[in-house]
Amino acid sequence: MNAGQQFKLSGIALAKDAVHMLDEICEHFVEHAEVKREGNTALLTSRAGTASIRIDDRALLIELSASSEKELHTSRTSIAEHLFYFAGDDPFELTWSESASLQVLPNLQQMTVVSAEDITPHMRRVTLACSDVAPYVGGDMHVRLLVPPKGRAPVWPGLRADGRVDWPKGEDELLVRVYTIRAVDAERGELRIDFLQHPTPGIATPGADFARDAQPGDVVALLGPGGGSLPVADTILIAGDESALPAIARIAAEVPAGTRIQAIIEVQDAAEEQPLACAGALEVRWLHRKDFPAGAKTVLAEETKKAIAAMADGTYVWFACEKENVRAIRTFLKSRGHDRGRMYVAWYWERTPA
């Protein structure tokens, strides 16, 4: 923690199995923060601040610290949402030293659609304008997109007393999806988000449908950013499919000069390739799914394993795509003793069983 950090909160969570809950917390947040576990105590450290969580009988004692009130609210919401998710149907209670009740979330910003255009046959870009793009410059890339129902004035979410998001229901229910900010134009006060238009008929794609139908003047909101931080390293191995392409493109565009990046990107065919700007030295290899053997689902993972085996020591590994491929890469990196601080391995979608 920096000396200037002064905003603090404490909480008490009563869980059916506190040890299992702490295990879940540590396993999940390792991709989003530095996690240190000593017995029944865990310390999570990120740019937003720290979260200390200690087991006391059935209780989880939580201490949060952050450099601003906004970051403190954001950390509390993240912890609360995940705790209730991990609890599932088991009885669970969460209280805080100060009520979390707010009418509007502190990290929510209303946006206006400026334009929407196809940049490849299956990737559509929506440009949004807002009053303050500063929160989206550098740092985390992921945001939650909130789209109100057509023809209704938007009702944005607030916070419950337990720290969870209080989502509007009924006729005011929002479409909520996680996306990566593809690029930020600070001078124009705009940002761009790319939406994959799924080519398979019969699959529900409400986020892609919004991008397809978006018109200038449409009002939406963004919640965040949070998660998906830009890697910092002299050499980076980066791999993913179309779902990760917006993040890959932004990382390539924002690394400092002198950075060496090797990228392996799976897309349907050559028409889905995109030019990638980069101030560093970028080597890109495109994998075309239409050329894979019938039923092949692990080509990207296998090619990434080969690249990992040949990469220089100290290389940062960034990998994102389908869940089972991500698990395979995570296991492979662990078997090689790769430094967890020099990797980001996350699944962006899950294949539906046939």
Structural domains of the chain sorted by starting position, each given as residue range(s) with its CATH number in brackets: 7-96 (3.30.310.50), 108-223 (2.40.30.10), 235-349 (3.40.50.80)
What's the per-residue H, E or C state across 75-100? HHHHHHHHHHHHHCCCCEEEEECCCC
Q: What's the whole-number average pLDDT of the chain?
A: 91
19 band by pLDDT with thresholds 50, 70 and 90: very high
Residues 129 and 192: beta-carbon distance below 8 Å:
no
Token look-up 């220089």 returns 312
Report the DSSP pairing between strands 316-322 and 343-349.
Answer: parallel
pLDDT digits (tens, 9 = 90+) for 150-166: 989 999 998 888 999 99
Angle at 208 between CA 202 and CA 209, to 5 degrees: 75
pLDDT the model gives residue 103: 72
3-state secondary structure of 167: coil
Question: Looking at residues 232-238, what average pLDDT do you find?
Answer: 96
- Identify the weakest region by mean pLDDT among 5-9, 305-309, 310-314, 326-330: 5-9
Other beta carbons within 10 Å of 294: 4
pLDDT digits (tens, 9 = 90+) for 252-285: 999 999 999 999 999 999 999 999 999 999 999 9
Other beta carbons within 10 Å of 89: 6
Q: Tokens in use for 246?
A: 């917006």
Asked whether the predicted pLDDT for residue 201 surpasses 70, the reply is no
Quote the CA–CA distance of 149 and 155 in Å, as a whole number.
10
Asked whether the predicted pLDDT for residue 1 surpasses 70, the reply is no
Question: Looking at residues 36-43, what average pLDDT do you find?
Answer: 94
Q: What values do phi and psi take at 180, rounded to 5?
A: -100, 135
Quote the CA–CA distance of 200 and 297 in Å, as a whole number.
16
pLDDT the model gives residue 2: 41
Orientation angle between helical segments 18-29 and 69-87, nearest 10 degrees: 120
Asked whether the predicted pLDDT for residue 173 surpasses 80, the reply is yes
Percentage of the chain beyond pLDDT 70 is 96
pLDDT the model gives residue 170: 95
Whole-model pTM above 0.95? Answer: no
Q: Tokens in use for 258?
A: 């002198």
Residue at 9: amino acid letter = L
